[in-house]
Structure 1
Amino acid sequence: MEDRFIRRLFAASFLLMALMLFWQTLPWIEELIVARQAQPRPVTPRGDLSEEEKATIELFERTKDSVVFIATTQAVIDPWSRNIYNIPKGTGSGFVWDRAGHIVTNYHVIAGASEARVRLSDGRDYHAVLIGASPRHDLAVLRINVPVRRPQPVMIGTSHDLKVGQKTFAIGNPFGLDWTLTTGIVSALDRSMTERNGAVIRQLIQTDAAINPGNSGGPLLDSAGRLIGVNTAIFSPSGAYAGIGFAIPVDTVNRIVPQLIAKGKYLEPSLGIETDDRINRLARARLGFDGVMILRTIPGSSAEKAGLRGITLYPDGSFDPGDIIVTIDRVPVHSKREIDEILEKHDVGDRVTVEISRNGRLLKKELILEPAQE
């Protein structure tokens, strides 16, 4: 009787252990069965792309061939052998300006370089020649000789009529990742930025389209695929994208680039006078006038020929303030910076009307803008 009970107990224990083992291996068996029967899942149809997506894709495909990759090298001297070597300096972006092979980019992309090469979107690579540059505007023009299948120049737009909130599209080569498209909006207008060389670039477009190192010199486009700016800088504590990028407005580019192509440099327009904001502030506080005091007229200049007068100093320390510029083309001015901003929209040879205050009387003089003395 006792043996039978033990046998039954042993059988029950064995059965329980077998059930437990089976229960533990059941998921593995199920997975094995499922794995043997696994098939690709059916694809859910996406449907048509949105109209906005279609427009963005079409804009990129239509414009990317007008964007170029720029690689620069720098000549260094081995102090031991005195041999000269070209080492990689950096990369940047640019775009095709015309059928003659002119390429527009930022000045800082090619500054200090001994050689630049331009690569087109189809992989063709060319040696580039520097045609002209304006460090003040951070613009440079290169030229490549493309004998056949010349790339299409970018379409030119306008920037004076931009509105905050308009869509923007940037194409460039951030961190050497070529032909990258980013999108955003016009975040702000009329920003100013001081370059390392001390030059102040004004009327910049601010955008949140992602701009990173390597995007410099690339085009900023509107939703019609037209150039509205040249990507030039970012504001970032880390040096990478932080949501604030700046572009040189196309109205400035379209005025400066033809001069760089024709003359190799930018001729800054001038009234032919000298002013100083610090002296002007002191004189305004003392005399209470509203405008910009002319310190002197440059001999032979249009200002001198028009009879404008600078200050006259007397031996006793007193002075005659001479002429005070009140407006230029009906725009009030209160500082040299404001005068520069007005002249920035003109070219050498343009005529401007200057309203001056002389001994309490308002006079109007017409001046022809001349190249600023270097």
Structure 2
Amino acid sequence: MSPAQDDPGQSPNPWDPFASRTGEDAQGPSALRPPQPEPTPPAGPSGTAVEASRVSREAAPHAHPHTPRRGPGWGGVSALVLAGMLLSSGATLGGVVAYDRIIAPLTSAQAPSEPASPSPTGPDVEPVSTGGATVADWSEVAEQVAPSTVAIQVRTATGTSQGTGVVLSEDGSVLTNDHVVAGGDQVQVTLADGLTYTAAVVGADPSTDLAVIRLDAPPPDLQPATFGDSELVEVGDPVMAVGTPLGLENTVTTGIVSAVDRPVTTEGEEEDGSDAAFTSAIQTDAAINPGNSGGPLVDARGHVVGVNTAIAAIPGTDRAVGSIGLGFAIPSNTARLIADQLGEGGTVRHAYVGVTTQDGTRSVGDVTHRGAEVVGVEPDSPAVEAGIQEGDLITAFDDVSIGGAAALTAVVRGQEVGSEHTLTVVRGEKERAIRITLGERP
């Protein structure tokens, strides 16, 4: 296995959760990208990395107080292969849906979806926790988020595709997946009231599978979505996915958060894997299907806690199959971090550690640790300043367990440049905590 680096962009095989990556921060298995998903088998026990493929573009609560989270390990993706990127459903008028490299019959493509609610200059952010709230009134939540959710139709050189978006501000800015709008030469947005507007791409970031588009002439009553703090999301929290699956606008599905900090990597279109996307995702059993891409995952209060981006598929089955109860969303905190930068200048600054890593294990006494083994440290990098050495096994990033190289990449990719964190490292026979300030990936 070749070593993985901070920059997952040069992974030998972005679809292989076990493959090491080359780039800056050897990180792990998680990513989401433009329309070209390939469903893969779902992961097994907690601690497995998931490879997500996007569903191509054709086609038609409440939370509890925050506690330390050692989420599902980022180990290998043995049993779980991420299925096609569920977000955008592609459809060439003939009714054929391309799930990122998968072809399946589909209906037409077009339709609005349901919104959530942010502020004029950017999405409002409120705590996710409702502290012991009663059962959610989903009909009320659906009514609340509908005005902030939109259906996105994209015309490409080969046909048309469709996805979903979340209204960010009154100026017409909308957040969606990069794979929903990638390659499009014409973008239209349909609001919950059925009215359609033209839009243009403001900026896109394939490495996180996020993009911001803006309506050319937004209506005066456009309602931004309200974003929650995804760090407060816990396993078991009730959630609702809103979008335009298979062209069926204003569709809502409910479920729970089935895992947090799940490493997900989705394949891009470049053979060298330079456009692979990595995400430390929120996993949910709320049904997500082609066309849901870019849409909101909201809590019981109607606050956006994630942006739906990929689904998993059982190995050996038709990748065009829809939800099997394993969907993945980009955490709202990461989405807002990237959206703010895309909306301002179109360029995103990515954090990095400055190491090349590969999946590794280390036995200390009767305990075997699994993590990202450092096989190279870049000169003048944050890793050097922090004192990280070759041979170190990174097993945790703050309170998030790191089960492999891809996991580290996914976690770091969602952090802010200049932020400080604690890496748990096994060196020799001892485990130690190392403080590090993340730098900007060159």
Structure 2: give runs of 5+ residues left out of the alignment: 1-133
Aligned residue in 2 for 1:275: 356
Identify which of structures 1 and 2 has the higher relative contact order when contacts are C-alpha pairs closer than 8 Å and 6+ apart.
Answer: 2
Q: State whether residues 133 and 264 of structure 1, in contact with CA within 8 Å, keep that contact through their aligned partners in structure 2.
A: yes
Aligned residue in 2 for 1:90: 161
CA distance in structure 2 between the partners assigned to 1:163 and 1:331 by the alignment: 13
Q: CA offset at residue 140 of structure 1? A: 1.2
TM-score (norm 2): 0.56
Aligned residue in 1 for 2:417: 348
The Cα offsets for residues 7-36 of structure 1, whole Å up to 9 and x where unpaired, read as xxxxxxxxxxxxxxxxxxxxxxxxxxxxxx
CA distance in structure 2 between the partners assigned to 1:167 and 1:331 by the alignment: 22
Aligned residue-pair number: 295
Give the AA of the match of 1:343. V
CA distance in structure 1 between the partners assigned to 2:168 and 2:426 by the alignment: 44
1:226 matched to 2:303:
yes
Q: State whether residues 192 and 200 of structure 1, in contact with CA within 8 Å, keep that contact through their aligned partners in structure 2.
A: no
Q: CA offset at residue 72 of structure 1? A: 0.4
Cα distance, 1:325–1:94 mapped onto 2, change above 3 Å: closer
Which of 281, 288, 294 is the equivalent residue of 1:204? 281
Aligned residue in 1 for 2:5: none
Q: CA offset at residue 189 of structure 1? A: 3.0
Q: State whether residues 209 and 243 of structure 1, in contact with CA within 8 Å, keep that contact through their aligned partners in structure 2.
A: yes
1:217 matched to 2:294:
yes
Aligned residue in 1 for 2:262: 191
Which of 213, 216, 236 is the equivalent residue of 1:145? 216
Cα distance, 1:161–1:336 mapped onto 2, change above 3 Å: same
1:57 matched to 2:139:
yes
- Of Structure 1 and Structure 2, the greater helix share is in 1
CA-based RMSD of the aligned residues comes to: 3.8
Aligned residue in 2 for 1:172: 243
CA distance in structure 2 between the partners assigned to 1:60 and 1:370 by the alignment: 40
Cα distance, 1:124–1:114 mapped onto 2, change above 3 Å: same
Which of 355, 370, 378 is the equivalent residue of 1:298? 378
1:162 matched to 2:239:
no
CA distance in structure 1 between the partners assigned to 2:370 and 2:209 by the alignment: 33
Aligned residue in 2 for 1:120: 191
The Cα offsets for residues 34-92 of structure 1, whole Å up to 9 and x where unpaired, read as xxxxxxxxxxxxxxxxx979x3222222221111110000136xxxxxxxxxxx42111
Structure 1: give runs of 5+ residues left out of the alignment: 1-50, 77-87, 312-320
Aligned residue in 2 for 1:256: 338
CA distance in structure 1 between the partners assigned to 2:429 and 2:253 by the alignment: 56
Q: State whether residues 373 and 405 of structure 2, in contact with CA within 8 Å, keep that contact through their aligned partners in structure 1.
A: no
TM-score (norm 1): 0.65
SS in 1 for 2:230: coil
Q: CA offset at residue 190 of structure 1? A: 3.2
Which of 360, 369, 372 is the equivalent residue of 2:438? 369
SS in 1 for 2:222: coil
SS in 2 for 1:109: helix
Q: CA offset at residue 103 of structure 1? A: 0.5
Q: CA offset at residue 104 of structure 1? A: 0.8
User: Which stretch shifts more, 93-102 or 291-300?
Assistant: 291-300
The Cα offsets for residues 156-203 of structure 1, whole Å up to 9 and x where unpaired, read as 112223233322222211111211222222233333333122535443
CA distance in structure 2 between the partners assigned to 1:233 and 1:332 by the alignment: 22
Q: CA offset at residue 362 of structure 1? A: 9.9
Q: CA offset at residue 205 of structure 1? A: 2.3
Task: State percent identity of aligned pairs.
Answer: 36
CA distance in structure 1 between the partners assigned to 2:397 and 2:413 by the alignment: 12
Which of 149, 152, 159 is the equivalent residue of 1:67? 149
Cα distance, 1:264–1:175 mapped onto 2, change above 3 Å: same
Larger radius of gyration: 1
Q: CA offset at residue 324 of structure 1? A: 7.6
